[in-house]
């Protein structure tokens, strides 16, 4: 069974701080990695994707990928209360097309 693991949280950070969300995956051949945000009762909303080792920045968000350690992370700078949501890490394994999701990390940004 190919697993995607995330700490369920909740992760609580004060407004303006950096939130760091982590994810590990078991399928070493995975090539594509995604971060989705999900508000309660809503559908997953894409934040970022990353394919290569290293960092990828988009506005306040930075995704980091380390394939050797099978680790992907998401940093959110200048966190806002509106960032409070569940963050889903998703991986496409080398052998398939579908997203394999982790259980998600709940983030709470306090004013």
Partner 1 sequence: EPEVTQTPSHQVTQMGQEVILRCVPISNHLYFYWYRQILGQKVEFLVSFYNNEISEKSEIFDDQFSVERPDGSNFTLKIRSTKLEDSAMYFCASHNRVHTEAFFGQGTRLTVV
Nearer to partner 1, 41 or 111 (CB): 41
Q: Is 43 in the site for partner 1 (CB under 8 A)?
A: yes
Q: Exactly one of 10, 16, 28, 46 binds partner 1 (CB under 8 A); which one?
A: 46
Q: What SS3 class is residue 79?
A: coil
Q: Is 97 in the site for partner 1 (CB under 8 A)?
A: yes
- Nearby residues of 94 by Cβ (< 8 Å), 6 or more positions away: 27, 29, 30, 31
- Site size toward partner 1 (CB under 8 A) is 24
Kindly report the number of other CB atoms within 10 A of residue 93's CB atom.
19
In terms of Cα–Cα distance, which of 30, 56, 45 is closest to 104? 45
Q: Is 45 in the site for partner 1 (CB under 8 A)?
A: yes
Residues numbered 9 to 38 that lie near partner 1 (CB under 8 A) are 31-32, 34, 36
Chain residues in the site for partner 1 (CB under 8 A):
31-32, 34, 36, 41-46, 49, 51, 88, 90, 92, 96-104
């Amino acid at each position: 069974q190919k697993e995607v693991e995330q700490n369920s949280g909740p992760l609580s950070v004060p407004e303006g701080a950096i939130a760091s969300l982590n994810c590990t995956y078991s399928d070493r051949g995975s090539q594509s990695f995604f971060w989705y945000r999900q508000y309660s009762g809503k559908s997953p909303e894409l934040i970022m994707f990353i394919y290569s080792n290293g960092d990828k920045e988009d506005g306040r968000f930075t995704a980091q990928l380390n394939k050797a350690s099978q680790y992907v992370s998401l940093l959110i700078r200048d966190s806002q209360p509106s960032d409070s949501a569940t963050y889903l890490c998703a991986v496409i394994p080398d052998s398939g097309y579908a997203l394999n999701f982790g259980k998600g990390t709940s983030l709470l940004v306090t004013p």
